[in-house]
Amino acid sequence: MVLVATLLALLAQVPPAQPDSEQIETCVACHGDRDLNVKLASGEVQALFVDRERFTRSVHGTRLSCADCHANMTELPHAPISYRTRREFTMSTYEQCKRCHFANYTKTLDSVHYRALARGDAMAPVCIDCHGSHDTRPPGQRSRVSQTCAKCHEGVYRTYEQSVHGRALVAEGNPDVPSCIDCHRSHDVSGPRTADWRGAVPDLCGKCHAKEKLMSKYGLSSNVLGTYVSDFHGMTASLRTQERGGTERRFVALCTDCHGVHDITKTKAPGSRVIRANLTETCRRCHPGASDDFPDAWLSHYEPSWQRAPLVYGVKLFYAGLIPFMIGGLVLQMLLHLWRVVVNR
């Protein structure tokens, strides 16, 4: 019953499907003035102009009226604004979005952005910082996602823009490559300082790189996740230790440790960390004493075959026959021994 009551209460808050055009016209009579603004206590000037055309073209333009979001603006003239800064003015809208987007709002409570807000970082993004206010556009244009994130993470974006993923998405508009939210998620944004995100890196990369149809389109192996999980690094990826201060350190390399994070390049590019000329230095980040031929012991993300690592493949075949033969012989010996015991009785 409590759940039903909660749902009914939320439904009661959902605004009508059609906007109140008379109400909008009343608001635009003042807020359609491009020079309308207010000076805040900080000395900053907050514009109060609303572009009617941009609002009409937005996703809310055919659904919401002004008072659906600005529910406290019911009296004319409005009460004086008490916000000290423009950021306080923006932050005041944060709670309004949950009236319609409650599921996404609850996801933000698990995000790194909300944790920053909770510890007092007023510059951490809220809904309208990413989606806009009166000009909210529908999701769908993937390249726009990364450009939105760049408003706060400009340095990361510039690095990403030059990576193999970024060039394909931003310059070419290729929908097959990941944007920011494909790795970090959207409303419940997570990042490299959280243990759950770092631990999920192999599966995260595997979402694309394990798809055979997608990888064949670009001439890439779709077995990278399988070969990683089956080798030393992958099999011990779950091992971890708590260091002084509560920070977490993993024992083995994950995908991002070798290939980079936002600066991922093609494996054969001159600056690639995994090209043969640079691979030893990459290994030395975890194995300081690695010799120049140290990487030769690694098969990369390829399964051994007669064409690639034939000696390893031959040993693998040898043991594939030897181990069943030995176990089968042991079982046969035990059965014969039991049979002899029974017969002799």
Q: Which long-range contacts (CB under 8 A, 24 or more apart) does 30-35 make?
A: none
Instruction: Tell me the residue range of the domain where 323 lies.
Output: 306-330
pLDDT at res. 245: 46
Q: Is residue 318 part of a domain?
A: yes
Instruction: Specify the residue for token string 């300082």.
Output: 193
Averaged pLDDT of the chain: 85
Q: Is residue 205 part of a domain?
A: no
Q: How many domains does the chain have?
A: 1
Q: Is residue 159 part of a domain?
A: no
* C-alpha span between 95 and 43 (Å, rounded): 25
DSSP letter for 170, please: I
Write out the H or E segment, with its range, that includes residue 242. strand 240-242
pLDDT at res. 317: 92
- And the tokens for 145? 């996602």
Q: Is residue 315 part of a domain?
A: yes
Q: Is residue 233 part of a domain?
A: no
- And the tokens for 148? 């939105």
Q: Is residue 103 part of a domain?
A: no
Q: Which residues make beta-bridge pairs with 248?
A: 242
- And the tokens for 86? 């423009």
- Residue 249 predicted with pLDDT over 60: no
Q: Is residue 310 part of a domain?
A: yes
Contact by Cβ (8 Å): 273, 279: yes
For residue 122, the tally of other CB atoms under 10 A from its CB is 12
Q: What percent of the chain has pLDDT over 90?
A: 45
Contact by Cβ (8 Å): 64, 19: yes
Contact by Cβ (8 Å): 189, 111: yes
Contact by Cβ (8 Å): 8, 51: no
Residue range 222-244: mean pLDDT, rounded? 75
- Residue 307 predicted with pLDDT over 50: yes
- Residue 116 predicted with pLDDT over 80: yes
Q: Is residue 314 part of a domain?
A: yes
